[in-house]
Amino acid sequence: MNKIIITVVGKDTVGIIAKVCTFLAENGINILDISQTIVSGYFNMMMIVDMSKSKVDFMEVSDTLDSLGEEIGVVIKCQREEIFDSMHRI
């Protein structure tokens, strides 16, 4: 499985989840786990997705989500699972 971690942070607005999930679905990227919360008007979401059947490569996903985040006023970051795990190992 080719997992990546996607984080979305910013001021809460209508449609953040819909726009991110639409991009993922259109590119064959499966959401394995998702958690989101809103604290004092700030949106925070973390997703674990499977890119095994993706129509695009990791860099294109990362770049497109970065641009999408700018469009909707949030910061979207992608990391490969193995790098995320390595960075958070004690």
- Render pLDDT for 47-62 as a digit per residue (tens, 0 to 9): 999 999 999 999 999 9
Residue 67, classed as helix, strand or coil, is helix
Tokens describing residue 81 = 């699972």
Beta bridge partners of 11: 42
Task: Tell me if 43 sits within 8 A of 12, measured CB to CB.
Answer: yes
Distance CA 50, CA 76 (A): 17
Count of H helices and E strands in the chain?
Answer: 3, 4
Domains of the chain and any CATH numbers: 3-87 (3.30.70.260)
Please write the tens of the pLDDT for every residue from 19-78: 999 999 999 999 999 999 999 999 999 999 999 999 999 999 999 999 999 999 999 999
Instruction: Output the pTM of the full model.
Output: 0.88
